[in-house]
Amino acid sequence: MPERRVTVASKVGLHARPAALVAKAAAAQPVAVSIAKNGEAAVPAGSVLNLMALGAVHGDEVVITAEGEGAQAAVDAIAELIASDLDA
């Protein structure tokens, strides 16, 4: 199962607009993408509520995972999004 650690770049963390953008991108992937913070249980990344419930703030490290055909590309796409400043 591909896994990638990434630091949240958005100044507001995974809240509101950044969470909506990440959830939309995750839901569009051909495989289910999950996200976890601080060793907590992973949650589906395609849900804005799940992303906001993580409480990931600017500078936090999160772990993105996916399983199945195309999982590495899905993990990379979501990780790149989280690592960019989505506040702009």
CATH number (domain holding residue 9): 3.30.1340.10
pTM exceeding 0.85: yes
7 falls within a domain: yes
87 falls within a domain: no
- Give the pLDDT score at 39: 87
41 falls within a domain: yes
Residue 29 is classified by DSSP as: S
Range of the domain at 55: 3-82
52 falls within a domain: yes
Catalytic residue list contains 15: yes
Domain count, the chain: 1
- Give the pLDDT score at 88: 67
Query: 36-74: per-residue pLDDT in tens?
Result: 998 899 999 999 999 999 999 999 999 999 999 999 999
88 falls within a domain: no
**Percentage of the chain exceeding pLDDT 70:** 99
Catalytic residue among 2, 6, 10, 15: 15
Q: How far apart are CA 61 and CA 78, in angstroms?
A: 14
63 falls within a domain: yes
60 falls within a domain: yes
Q: How far apart are CA 67 and CA 43, in angstroms?
A: 14
